[in-house]
Amino acid sequence: MGDNVEFPSNGSTAGGYLASAREGAGPGIIVLQEWWGLVPQLKRVCDRLSEEGFTALAPDLFHGEMAKHDEMDKAAELMNTLPPDRAARDMGGAVTYLLAHEAVRGHNVGVVGFCMGGMLAWVLAAQQGDRVGAVVAYYGAPVGDNEPEWTNLAAPVLAHIAENDDFFPPSAVQGLEQKLKGMDKDVTTYVYPGTGHAFGNEENALGTYDADAERQAWVRTLEFLRKHLG
């Protein structure tokens, strides 16, 4: 349904997958990958968003590298060796590209991220200020040493968190929520009872996919994006 695209990234180029809104134009959404890379499952998320009237772009943060869903060691290596400055440039370039695209309307974009991408979604919004109008983070948040400077965070944030998650424990994410609310930031966290990390990924290698929780989180995601992006 979508197309592979290239866009400028701070003097170089980056690639990604773009699925345009079925109506021809709609609010733009940046979709940020899990540690597997730009895999078919993530492209299907873009396709689902396009069917809902959004134009979705998933930048390829690993520049062509990816891990299969039974290659967790490789996925961890790809994530741990991702240059943060390059990732920031690529994500910022994706925002610029999407805002200028003919299939995008509005003066800002939304960000939806999963796991590693969920963590990066908060970071991107903090970096981009009012160019990001809504953030949805699935089981990921920048806690501890990963926290960015929050001064420029302008977008409301919706976080979907698994109750049983050793990667991003609910207590840590809720602590971040309270900290940001103390800074007058708009953050809402939902903890999904009985779920494990990556409960929204039907192909996840942990065996934690939960169809009911995924459906509920998806409905909340669409409502949130429509409320804040139009």
Nearest residue to 138 via CA among 221, 56, 210, 47: 221
Per-domain residue ranges of the chain: 3-229
Does pTM surpass 0.95?
A: yes
The total of other beta-carbon atoms located within 10 Å of residue 69's CB is 16
pLDDT tens-digit map of 78-87: 999 999 999 9
**Intra-chain end-to-end CA distance of the chain, in Å:** 23
Q: Supply the CATH classification number for the domain 3-229.
A: 3.40.50.1820
Asked whether 128 and 34 are in contact (CB, 8 A), the reply is: no
Task: Measure the CA–CA gap between 198 and 164, rounded to whole angstroms.
Answer: 10
What pLDDT sits at residue 230?
Answer: 74
pLDDT tens-digit map of 37-51: 999 999 999 999 999
| Average pLDDT for 64-76 | 94
Task: Measure the CA–CA gap between 216 and 201, rounded to whole angstroms.
Answer: 13
- Residue 48 is inside which H or E element, if any? helix 40-51
Counting residues of the chain whose pLDDT is more than 70, the rounded percentage is 100
Tokens of 101: 């695209």
pLDDT tens-digit map of 12-37: 999 999 999 998 899 999 999 999 99
Asked whether 137 and 177 are in contact (CB, 8 A), the reply is: no
